[in-house]
């Protein structure tokens, strides 16, 4: 029994020894391998690992750039949409103003036509009134001319003093030359000269 226990203990000890031996061998192998790698390549990161890291970094940068560009495009599109909306609103306002201007223009055109018609009517009435007054005035001046023809020179001179130059000028226009000369001779020299000048300019 005791011998059996001693054999088991010795077997366990042997197994532990073998395990420690294998561990020491593996550890030594790894240390030798690392030392060999460092001796060959130095303490830098392997090229493949660095390449994969660079590739990953490049992909990340490209992705970030693409995200930024997408955001810029979205922002630009948003600004453009706002500008288009504002432009459409401005166009609508301008169209409304144009419609108001056209409406006001039509109203003003209608008022202008109405005013022109009223002016034409008033002008016709004025012309008719002027013609009537002129005819009446001519009749009166003709009566005065007949009276002057029967008066003596002194009475003619006194009567002409009470008349304005316009009436005297009308008398000169409708009177025969002899009667016109009689009228001028009855006036003062300065007044006769002025009326003669105006009479000549009319004729």
The pLDDT assigned to 115 comes to 87
CB 170 within 8 A of CB 202: no
The three-class DSSP label of residue 44 is coil
CB 142 within 8 A of CB 168: no
How does pLDDT run across 91-146, given as a tens digit for each residue?
A: 888 999 999 999 899 889 888 888 888 888 878 776 665 555 477 777 877 888 88
The pLDDT assigned to 42 comes to 55
Asked if the structure places residue 176 within a domain, the reply is yes
The pLDDT assigned to 86 comes to 87
Separation CA 12–CA 198 (nearest Å): 162
Asked if the structure places residue 160 within a domain, the reply is yes
Asked if the structure places residue 97 within a domain, the reply is no
Separation CA 108–CA 105 (nearest Å): 5
pLDDT of 9 above 60 = no
Q: How confident is residue 156, by pLDDT bands cut at 50, 70 and 90?
A: confident
The pLDDT assigned to 50 comes to 53
CB atoms within 10 A of CB 198: 15
Asked if the structure places residue 17 within a domain, the reply is yes
189-199 average pLDDT score: 88
CB 196 within 8 A of CB 169: no
Total number of domains in the chain: 2
Residue matched to tokens 């197994």? 15
Phi-psi sector, 42: left (phi>0), alpha (psi -120 to 50), beta? left
How does pLDDT run across 23-76, given as a tens digit for each residue?
A: 777 777 777 776 776 666 555 545 454 555 666 777 888 888 888 888 888 888
For the chain, what is the largest distance between any 2 Cα atoms, rounded to a whole number of angstroms?
A: 199
Give how far Cα 13 sits from Cα of 3, 22, 25, 127, 136, Å: 15, 14, 18, 151, 165
Task: Note down the domain range covering 5.
Answer: 1-44
Separation CA 155–CA 117 (nearest Å): 51
The pLDDT assigned to 166 comes to 86
């Amino acid at each position: 029994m005791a011998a059996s226990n001693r054999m088991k203990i010795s077997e366990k000890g042997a197994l532990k020894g073998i395990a420690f031996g294998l561990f020491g061998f593996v550890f030594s192998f790894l240390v030798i391998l690392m030392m060999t790698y460092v001796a060959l390549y130095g303490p830098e990161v392997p090229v493949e690992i660095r390449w994969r890291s660079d590739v990953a970094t490049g992909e990340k940068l490209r992705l970030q750039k693409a995200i930024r560009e997408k955001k810029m495009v979205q922002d630009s599109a948003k600004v453009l949409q706002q500008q288009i909306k504002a432009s459409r609103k401005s166009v609508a306002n301008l169209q409304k103003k144009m419609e108001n201007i056209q409406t006001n223009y039509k109203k003003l055109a209608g008022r202008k036509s109405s005013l022109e018609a009223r002016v034409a009517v008033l002008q016709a009435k004025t012309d008719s009134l002027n013609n009537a007054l002129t005819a009446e005035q001519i009749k009166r001046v003709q009566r005065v001319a007949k009276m002057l023809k029967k008066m003596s020179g002194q009475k003619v001179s006194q009567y002409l003093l009470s008349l304005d130059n316009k009436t005297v000028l009308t008398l000169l226009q409708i009177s025969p030359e002899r009667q016109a000369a009689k009228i001028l001779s009855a006036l003062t020299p300065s007044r006769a000269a002025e009326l003669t000048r105006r009479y000549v300019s009319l004729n």
